[in-house]
Amino acid sequence: MTAEQEGFWPEMINNLPEAEIPIEGLRSHIFQGQNQQIVFMSFEKDVEVPEHCHEAQWGVVLDGETELTINGRKHRLGKGETYFIPKDVRHSAKIKKGYKDLTLFNQKDRYKAK
């Protein structure tokens, strides 16, 4: 069965705890490691994430598109592309409805499970 036939995320991801991320239109699931977190994100509407910074972040776009501004430089990303945001580098995002990604945060407590 393909991801499209059963919904984008397989049951093993949907069964993970939801991440407590205060962004309207975002559905997310969190996998907690000892020192890092992996977050599976799906956006149900267009979202603008204001500029902020934190520990290092790496991600891969699984579907849709986004515009990341990293340290003042804009990057348009689509399906299959990856990005890396170093620790303490300011960044923001304009995320389109339908965007899905897998993000690794080099921080064990970036988000809490709901």
CATH topology of domain 3-105: Jelly Rolls (2.60.120)
What confidence score (pLDDT) does residue 7 get?
A: 86
pTM: 0.91
Q: What pairs with residue 37 in β-bridges?
A: 32, 105
pLDDT of 6 reads 54
Per-residue pLDDT reduced to its tens digit, 40-99: 999 999 999 999 999 999 999 999 999 999 999 999 999 999 999 999 999 999 999 999
Sheet holding 65-70, edge to edge: 47-52, 91-95, 65-70, 73-78
- Residues 48, 94: contact at Cβ < 8 Å? yes
Which tokens go with 27? Answer: 């559905």
